[in-house]
Amino acid sequence: MRSKIATLVILFSAVAGIAGFSTHREPAQAADGMRTINITAKRFSFDPAEVTLKKGETVKLVLKSEDVTHGIFVRPLKLDQDIPAGKSVEVTITPQTAGKFTAICDHFCGVGHGNMKMTFVVQE
């Protein structure tokens, strides 16, 4: 009787393994090897307020809005992306110029919209 149960357990584990019900998960970053940076937009700021990048390094930005639709615009980084209300979007950027760049929210989001900014520092 005991060995029957053991066989069933082993069988179930094998089937579950084949079906991909494994509890082991690789971190998302390992899939494409890109550094991922999370930025949260919320009336009327970005968090973090400053992000440091490396010239020539492609990074994935995961942009999330916790309230209304925002935008993020930095011309020198060729970044111009809407961040839909309550959602996340992913974009990849590869900075080509070192420097300090100000990102602005370019989707009207309320009275503090004009001051909704963050900084990207691109190191040589």
Residues contributing to the site for Cu ion (CB under 5 A): 105, 109, 113, 116
Could you give the 3-state DSSP secondary structure of residue 76? Answer: helix
| Rounded Cα distance, 112 and 47, in Å | 15
In angstroms, give the least distance from the CB of 13 to Cu ion: 51
Would strands 99-104 and 88-93 be described as parallel, antiparallel, or unpaired? unpaired
In angstroms, give the least distance from the CB of 69 to Cu ion: 8
* Closest to Cu ion by CB, 47 or 57: 47
In angstroms, give the least distance from the CB of 95 to Cu ion: 23
Provide the 10 A C-beta neighbour count for residue 109: 21
* Closest to Cu ion by CB, 34 or 51: 51
